[in-house]
Amino acid sequence: MQGHEYYLLVSTSSNNDYSYKDSLYLRVDNNGHVYSRRSNSTLEDNYFRLKGKDGDSWTYAINDRDKATIWVNNVDVEINNTTLKDCKAYNYDVPNWADEEYTRTLAKGIGFVKEYSNAWGMGEILKSARINGIEIDF
């Protein structure tokens, strides 16, 4: 798409009330900036800056009127009895919108470990991962 190669990320969740499946196209540039886009859009979101430092922030256009602001914080994440050190928490906000604020947290060598809605007070946390064929349960 637009001369770039993307990775397809498919996420699913389900419980007794609903089932959800979504797909997202991701690419990483030479600076460690991660861009995403939906299949029906030409706009790219710059969700992550993998080399971002604690306190860094940036904005990007999400439509003709609105811009998203993202800032990154270095955090430790506790999953059950395991502490993941030096994770990057990416906080997302669109000033003109209500209730969209959320935080996505990435851990070194693992990737996505936590997604939390600051406005709704709920989210998801990683329970297990398979990395290089090795399964890790938290």
**Rounded Cα distance, 107 and 105, in Å:** 7
Cα–Cα nearest to 57, from 66, 48, 70 = 70
pLDDT 10s digits, 65-100: 889 999 999 999 998 888 999 999 999 999 888 777
Cβ-contact 31, 46 below 8 angstroms: no
Does 41 reside within a domain?
Answer: yes
On whether the CB atoms of residues 72 and 56 are closer than 8 A, the answer is: yes
Q: Quick one: tokens of 124?
A: 């998801």
Does residue 60 lie within any of the structural domains?
Answer: yes
Whole-number pLDDT of residue 53: 95
Tokens representing 44 are 């790219």
Q: Which of 38-42, 80-84, 129-133 has the lowest mean pLDDT?
A: 38-42
N residues, the chain: 138
Q: What does the alpha-carbon distance between residue 72 and residue 59 come to, in Å, rounded to a whole number?
A: 12
In a domain, 2, yes or no: no
pTM score > 0.85 for this model?
no
In a domain, 1, yes or no: no
In this structure, is residue 49 part of a structural domain? yes
Contact predicate 72/49, CB 8 Å: yes
The answer to whether the beta carbons of residues 89 and 75 sit under 8 Å apart is yes
Domain count, the chain: 1
Kindly report, residue by residue over 55-66, the tens digit of the pLDDT.
999 998 888 888
Task: Give yes or no for a contact between 25 and 1, defined as CB atoms under 8 angstroms apart.
Answer: yes
Its domain, for residue 92, covers: 7-137
